[in-house]
Amino acid sequence: MSLTSRLGTLSRIQAFYLKVRLPWRRVKALAPGARTSYAEPMECRLCGGHAEDFVVAGTTYGRCADCDYTGIDPLLLPSAAAEEARYRLHNNSYEDERFRTWIESFLDIAVPFMKPGAAVLDFGSGPEPVPARILATRGFTVTQYDPFFSPGDEWRSRTWDTILVHEVAEHLANPRAVFDELARLLAPGGVLCVRTRFPPENPMEFARWRYRMDSTHVGFFTERCLRLLAKRLNLEPVLVAAPDRAVLQRR
């Protein structure tokens, strides 16, 4: 299907990153890899390479041989309404000591790469921005963005010393467009701090992997995938480590 014919069927949600910048999670038919039938080959939504189809428990995924990204079939991406409903079920409270400790376990690793007093963008901050609250207590200036809970475009008008992408990458319908933009917004020496669980390589383990079973988790990054992403974005992978963390720095 040509781009022109696709445009004729676009909803407002589906127009992201053509002429209109809409919230980053709301990409559907025009996300890279989108297809109108299962007869068409799947394209990797992260690098544009060929993604080999496989099916797990009735769900079709594509694994990219070029960049190692594994993404759900674009035809199965959840609607914006379904995403928001799922996120509103999260019960992630600052007062929950166990949850706060889990957040701090990532921040303790990321903070040494951040400039003191850095201007931080908490990208995809969610209904309860616990990372932002913790970073504020550590002397950082934090701005929150989330298409559902902290919407707006002001974050696009400046550069950032640190961009936090905490448990967000796996939700992205169009990860290529999102990471391209975030990389452009990094100040010199700035860091992109990503937390997302790396998928198991064994197909049987992937089938049993609970992280995969969240209906809003639509894409998964291996260590190799994040290193290749850093290279494409002209960032230095100063830290990439299992099970779920990466710090990519603007050279």
Domain that includes residue 91, residue range: 87-197+216-250
Give yes or no: residues 148 and 243 share one domain. Answer: yes
Q: Is residue 175 part of a domain?
A: yes
pLDDT: which is higher, 114 or 90: 114
The reported pLDDT for the residue numbered 27 is 34
The reported pLDDT for the residue numbered 40 is 64
**Residue 155 pLDDT greater than 80, yes or no:** yes
Q: Please give the distance of CA 58 from its chain centroid, rounded to a whole number.
A: 24
| Percent of the chain clearing pLDDT 90 (strictly above) | 78
Q: Is residue 208 part of a domain?
A: no
| Percent of the chain clearing pLDDT 70 (strictly above) | 84
Residue 199's closest CA among 109, 64, 84?
64
**pLDDT tens across 24-35, in order?**
333 333 344 444
Q: Is residue 68 part of a domain?
A: yes
C-alpha span between 98 and 58 (Å, rounded): 34
**pLDDT tens across 190-239, in order?**
999 999 999 999 999 999 999 999 999 999 999 999 999 999 999 999 99
Give yes or no: residues 168 and 114 share one domain. Answer: yes
Q: Are 153 and 109 in contact (CB under 8 A)?
A: no
**Residue 6 pLDDT greater than 60, yes or no:** no
